[in-house]
Structure 1
Amino acid sequence: MRKLIVFLTAIIITSVLLIGNGAHFSARGESLFHFFSSEKGRFPDSSNGGLNQIEIVPFVTEDRSLTSGFVPELKLYAPHLSIPSAHASVILDVDSGKILYAQNADIERQIASLTKLFTATIVMERIKNLDELVTIDAEAVYADGTRIGCPRSGFCNGERLKVGEQLAARDLLKAALMNSANDSAIALGKHIGKTQDGFARIMNERAQELGLIHTHFCTPSGLELDGRESECYSSALDVAKIAAHALEFPKLWEIMRLDKQIIISSDGKWSHELFNTDQLLGQLPNLIGTKTGFTPLAGYSLLAVATDQSQTHRVVAVLLDDPYRWQNIQSMFGWSFQAIDWK
């Protein structure tokens, strides 16, 4: 009898220790994980905006659709992921197109400067020589929010763009992606579409071609239009698809991994220092790149792409309107590479 009691006690203690080991991911000092016992293959979150199964989404380009021949699976006893501070979130496996996690992923809402990544893909498709010069006009110079020389709205500590100044398209891409500069995105958009509205039409036509059914762009910068804010929107899942599509242009991600740069006008008269808004540079192993976004309406948003340690699997994580975006994005990647079976 005593041996039986000792044996049962050992089993109970072991079980408690195993369960305790599942709650080790955290953000803001709170546990984001706990064990769950739901059916394998289901989402680890019940508030998925209609996405109740881990599923494969129609991918954004034909040549990438399920070409990897590998589909990741949620582990049977994988920990549960919860991100209560985010209004919407999603994790997408790039190469299979499989949704690994989703919360309100199809809900349409403003995405602010995450828009600039899509703007950058249009630039890459339309401007074949990135040394092509772009002329800065007054509409770009007097844009609201973050600009070259103004790392925050209302705070300017560097040399701003000048009306008539010319810069290479590649340098304006650096400003738009690193510094999230609205003036540079507007200049690029108008260079291609003649007007901001004209470029927005190009963006929306391309979005339709890529199957972004919950997306409608208003501006190349991501700034909402006064009185028409409801017309400017995307979803967490569509943003993830945009990031996956953008991986077709490695140059964009090289730019997003730059810490700082100095760009110079074509005549050599003006130089502008750029700093990256990415707080994870040099902090998160195997980070491919991030893009930040903020307006008062959109809230603090973030997209990021990273690989596992073997650099074999690429994962996109998106957070919309999350004040703890930097902490939570790391937890999302941690969960992705531990809760999912990649073998």
Structure 2
Amino acid sequence: MTRQEFSIGKALRVVSTTIALSVCAALANAAAPSAALATSADATQATPSVKKSKRIKVTKKTEKAAAADGKPRARTAKVASTAEPTRTRRRVHYRLAAREGAVKVAYEPRTSVGTAFGLHDAPDELALRSSVAYVVDQNTHETLFDKNSQAVVPIASITKLMTAMVVLDSKAPLTEQIEVTDEDRDTVKNTGSRLSVGSVLSREDMLHIALMASENRAAAALSRYYPGGRPAFIAAMNHKAQELGMPETHFLSPSGLTSENVSTGRDLVKMVNAAYQYPLIREFSTDESYDVFTGRKTIHYGTTNALVRGHKWDIGLQKTGFINEAGECMVMQTTIQNRPIVIVLLDSSGKYSRFGDAQRIRSWIDAGGVQRVTSIENSRGGT
């Protein structure tokens, strides 16, 4: 083989080797993304178990630490919950049952009421959001509107009307100074109060803010200063209810924070009528704002009733109330179409729905709704 031929053959081999190496590199590069993706996917699947293991380990450490110093610590491992979300408010209907001298309140889930008791077409016409609605002519005692007026339900701070009557019936000096103590704290709902322990007010001021601003500690303090203390005061509340002919009404607290303070729409009309006979209850419950000096500072209180603030209603007496079990409640003496009327609204859904229901009732009366229903009842032979 000549030297020239050898050089040509060597050059061809070098070229072939270079091409082969290029092809192999290209194939390797083409396979690399798939391998990278596979590696990434495996890492993603493995990550939760690695993190979970690490977090559980941390959790055990926190539990040991908590046991050592007695302070609870939140668990760091996250667990998917299968529980249903908790309801912030349980809507219920209550029945009252007395057994062996103790009052028991049984309840069952609320159902849609739909029709009123006594008046046939009024509920559909008004579409009220209150489970109980009872409207009565104060002078003639004629029922103008009736929706579940005999249902026994919690009444929340509507209770304070009875509290005020018992306080005034006691004839205790309104100028006497009353001090708020730890005994007046709410141990039922654990609610707070602007009236701090150690505050000193006159009995009159306590009564004023209890009625106008629904101050719970004021009501509690008033009951504690009653002759015989709070037990005697609550007994006097129940005795007063019996005297007024309120058979379905029962009290266990002067503030209404317990769901076992119960009544009916019919009973509450009697209570409103009785409270209306006390000039101070009328004045204090319809006041728009009031300042009290506690011995430490001055506190400004405002009414809990938006209808009083609006000055569009002629209101002679009112009281609002709310706890979860009772819903939004309101009782009111007012004048519509030159007619004195008592309105009871209980277990209303929504913060402002009781006020909206009152406005719907007023508009219904203004539009002649009472006369239409009365004519329907007369045509059916009703009374």
**TM-score, normalised by the number of residues in structure 1:** 0.67
Give the 3-state SS of the residue equivalent to 2:306 in structure 1. Answer: coil
CA 1:83/1:290 → structure 2, altered by over 3 Å: closer, same or farther?
Answer: farther
Amino acid in structure 1 at the alignment position of 2:169: E
1:119 to partner: Cα distance = 0.8
Counterpart position of 2:129: 85
Counterpart position of 2:196: 161
Greater alpha carbon shift after TM alignment, 248-257 vs 215-224 = 248-257
* Count of aligned positions: 253
Q: Does 1:339 align with 2:383?
A: no
**Cα distance in 1, alignment partners of residues 333 and 125 from structure 2:** 18
Counterpart position of 2:359: 330
Q: Does 1:98 align with 2:142?
A: yes
1:260 to partner: Cα distance = 1.5
Amino acid in structure 1 at the alignment position of 2:301: L
1:334 to partner: Cα distance = 3.0
Counterpart position of 1:196: 230
Give the 3-state SS of the residue equivalent to 2:362 in structure 1. Answer: helix
Q: Is the 8 A contact 1:79 1:339 kept in 2?
A: no
Q: Is the 8 A contact 1:193 1:202 kept in 2?
A: no
1:84 to partner: Cα distance = 4.3
**Cα distance in 2, alignment partners of residues 129 and 193 from structure 1:** 12
Q: 1:47 aligns with which of 116, 134, 159?
A: 116
**Cα distance in 2, alignment partners of residues 205 and 295 from structure 1:** 24
Counterpart position of 2:344: 318
Q: Does 1:256 align with 2:256?
A: no
Larger Rg: 2
Give the 3-state SS of the residue equivalent to 1:189 in structure 2. Answer: helix
Give the 3-state SS of the residue equivalent to 1:319 in structure 2. Answer: strand
Q: Is the 8 A contact 1:147 1:180 kept in 2?
A: no
Give the 3-state SS of the residue equivalent to 2:291 in structure 1. Answer: strand
Q: For structure 1, which runs of at least 5 residues remain unmatched after alignment?
A: 1-44, 55-76, 150-159
1:161 to partner: Cα distance = 2.6
Greater relative contact order (CA < 8 Å, ≥ 6 in sequence) = 1
**Cα distance in 2, alignment partners of residues 211 and 246 from structure 1:** 14
1:193 to partner: Cα distance = 5.1
Q: Is the 8 A contact 1:145 1:182 kept in 2?
A: no
Give the 3-state SS of the residue equivalent to 1:192 in structure 2. Answer: coil
Decide which structure has greater helix share: 2
1:134-175 Cα shifts (integer Å, max 9, x gaps)? 2322121455466642xxxxxxxxxx3333x43111111121
1:191 to partner: Cα distance = 1.3
Q: Is the 8 A contact 2:220 2:254 kept in 1?
A: yes
**Cα distance in 2, alignment partners of residues 129 and 212 from structure 1:** 28
CA 1:308/1:47 → structure 2, altered by over 3 Å: closer, same or farther?
Answer: closer
1:107 to partner: Cα distance = 0.7
Q: Is the 8 A contact 1:302 1:320 kept in 2?
A: yes
1:192 to partner: Cα distance = 1.4
Q: 1:121 aligns with which of 153, 160, 165?
A: 165
Amino acid in structure 2 at the alignment position of 1:218: L
Structural RMSD (CA) = 2.7
**Cα distance in 2, alignment partners of residues 284 and 210 from structure 1:** 31
Q: Is the 8 A contact 2:282 2:317 kept in 1?
A: yes
1:183 to partner: Cα distance = 0.4
Q: 1:242 aligns with which of 271, 277, 297?
A: 271
**Cα distance in 2, alignment partners of residues 148 and 318 from structure 1:** 27
Greater alpha carbon shift after TM alignment, 102-111 vs 132-141 = 132-141
Give the 3-state SS of the residue equivalent to 2:144 in structure 1. Answer: strand
CA 1:275/1:53 → structure 2, altered by over 3 Å: closer, same or farther?
Answer: closer
1:272 to partner: Cα distance = 2.0
